[in-house]
Structure 1
Amino acid sequence: MIIRDIATLKRTVRQWNQAGETIGLVPTMGALHEGHLSLVTQARARTQRVIVSIFVNPTQFNNPTDLATYPRTEAEDIALLPDVDAIFIPTAEAMYPEGFSSTVKVSAMAETLEGAYRPGHFDGMATVVTKLFSLSEADYAFFGEKDWQQLQIVRRFVQDLNLPIEIVACPTLREADGLALSSRNRRLSPEARKNAPALHAILQEIATTIRQGQPIAEALDNGMKSLIAAGFGPIDYLACCEAESLTSVTTVFATKHDNGALRLLVAAALESVRLIDNIVI
């Protein structure tokens, strides 16, 4: 079922609620790939009804060119979703009608890493996701771990605002060579695609040296050199952070932290394509 207006979505959701059925939401901006479909699979396994939203959200783009060039593949996306109960494809005018003036803002953790390079991005994301939670009345929402900072921010505002929804984190899906699946990968040239897996490989090298006792700052410095040598640049950030708070950690040994309490995060361009990735330490 393809739904393009809010009234129809609310009417459909009301019927499911009256029947006592659980609802899962997979929010996307389209240009779907196997990573998105893995979220749908998890939603289908956990809930009785699954909604996939496809909405290129203008408020989370700080660069108008990025918004204009973001891939829009609606027909292909719909064809990939034969087993979901509803595909919600609203217009920008429906989501942000004239006079719309409210924003969900998560301070501190939304101002570092991606937030430092994409001002307003997480405010736009948090606002539209909150609207989707409300409109879908979902019991569960499914997010990929590839966008680790986004996942933590969503968890934070759901907790802070006492929203009646459970956030389910789904593992990052990768190509056989380690490259994290992303809609941006289709923009890589053949040569860049060959080099792109080095991003994940270098993260793994850094994590290994930190686990072995190398000071974090030294390991990150060596990692930066490896990324540059592999052809990445500019490198917006390469950071070791506490997994939940996203607080930067550079001056202690990883052995002082519980296993899994630290996360390596990176954003680096290859040719003109900006890639992000993260792994646990």
Structure 2
Amino acid sequence: MAAPGSHATATVPAPSAGQPSPGLADLPAAPFPIFTTVDAYREWRRKAMVEGKSVGFVPTMGALHDGHMSLVRHSLLQNDLTVLSIFVNPAQFAQNEDLATYPRTLEADLTRMASLALPSPASPAGDALRSVSALFLPTVKEMYPSGIVQNVDEQRGTFIDVKGYGHQMEGQSRPTFFRGVATVVTKLFNAIEPTHAYFGQKDIQQALLLRRLVQDLLLSHPTPQNLHIVPTLRSSSDGLALSSRNVYLTAPERDVAGVLYAALKRGEEVWKAGGGRDGAVRNATEFVESCARDAEAKGVHVKLDYIEMNDPETFEIVDWDTRLEDGRPVILSGAVWVGKTRLIDNILLGDASRLLM
């Protein structure tokens, strides 16, 4: 389906540290408009709104892989138009994290986006195709008009903090992460005004926190019901969750990178056998520690960050035995370091359909 509007013509502000920002003349060619400013995108969005077209939105930090494309496919099937954003958000990286080295592969990303087309459900004959309609590619200055530094104590301007839900699980290891995520996604929702938005299960805490944010801030684009969480796409060989950071892994590290998913599956088996939360977490933890010893003998350093079972509403640690009666889901999740790369993953126990929609 052809996208309304045309390419942005605004001047791109100078790049900020850690965030290269090409000028419009430097952008690779694409079969859809690339908007670098909110104003230019909103002109396009107004036309779509007048025409009564639904807009699906997939926010990314680029370095697109098949997991991202799975989200795009969901959007193409459910919406008249599909918009992606690519923005490496400084506010969600701590000072010791990989902002400067995070993979940036714009040309390859555009090729991936351009190659995906699905038959439109609105066309009974299947002769009409839907493809990506637009890319929002803002600069750091566009997204943070007051400026942005990674040191939270030195930041100035407006930020979103979802109180009581960002210090558990991933937040325990990355205490400023969800503040940065909540802030940038609120900005993106305000700019894009999506009818539907799509996030991956791999980042389950992030997706559930954003669903709560949409509800608490009374957002209409999207509504909580239209913020969709899509099941994780995995490697067929060892179940490793697809992630942009997987490119950091060396060949020997990649050989053992499936350890976390294998550990979570063992925890799931213990739970299904009636072992409860303590048994599931202990079994999964011991499996990672055993694999870490074997990997060390091969010259690969594997270190467990955490494995835990948490309530999807509060993110607090739960006693699984108290949740068996009604089938409500809980999250069995974890993080490991493989070399210098931190990998996260999760499995939903119970009725996952209550969270994934």
TM-score, normalisation: structure 2: 0.75
Q: Is the 8 A contact 1:243 1:260 kept in 2?
A: no
Relative to structure 2, which stretch is displaced further, 68-77 or 214-223?
214-223
Q: Name 2:229's counterpart in structure 1.
A: 169
Q: Which residue of 2 aligns with 1:248?
A: 317
- Equivalent in the alignment of 1:216: 277
Bigger Cα Rg: 2
Q: Which residue of 1 aligns with 2:330?
A: 262
Q: Is the 8 A contact 2:61 2:89 kept in 1?
A: yes
1:13 aligns with 45
1:276 to 344, 351, 355: 344
Fraction of identical pairs, as percent: 39
Residue among 91, 101, 104 paired with 1:69:
101
- Paired residues in the alignment total 280
Offset, 1:130: 0.7
Kept in 2: contact 1:213–1:254 (CA 8 A): no
RMSD: 1.6
In the alignment, the residues of structure 2 paired with residue 52 and residue 6 of structure 1 have an alpha-carbon distance, to the nearest angstrom, of: 14
Equivalence map 1:112-261=2 (5 Å): 112-164=168-220, 165=222, 166-176=226-236, 177-231=238-292, 233-249=302-318, 251-253=319-321, 256-259=324-327, 261=329
Q: What is the CA deviation profile of residues 211-269 of structure 1, one whole-angstrom value per residue up to 9, with x for unaligned ones? A: 211132133122212101112743221001123322211x4527635435111010111
CA spacing shift, 1:255–1:14, aligned 2, 3 Å? closer
Instruction: Give the 3 Å change call, closer, same or farther, for CA 102–260 of structure 1 in structure 2.
Output: same
* Residue 84 (structure 1) shift: 0.7
- Structure 1 residue 85 corresponds to structure 2 residue 153: no
CA contact (8 A) 2:260 2:335 kept: no
Which structure 2 residue ranges, 5 or more long, are not aligned?
1-32, 115-130, 148-155, 293-300, 350-357
Q: Which ranges in structure 1 are unaligned for 5 or more consecutive residues?
A: none
Change beyond 3 A, Cα 1:202–1:147: same
Question: In the TM superposition, what is the alpha-carbon distance from 1:63 to its structure 2 partner?
Answer: 2.6
- TM-fit CA distance, 1:173: 0.3
Asked if residue 25 in structure 1 is aligned to residue 93 in structure 2, the reply is no
Instruction: Map Cα deviations across residues 17-41 of structure 1 (whole Å, 9 max, x no partner).
Output: 0111011110000010000011001
**Alpha-carbon deviation of 1:210?**
1.1
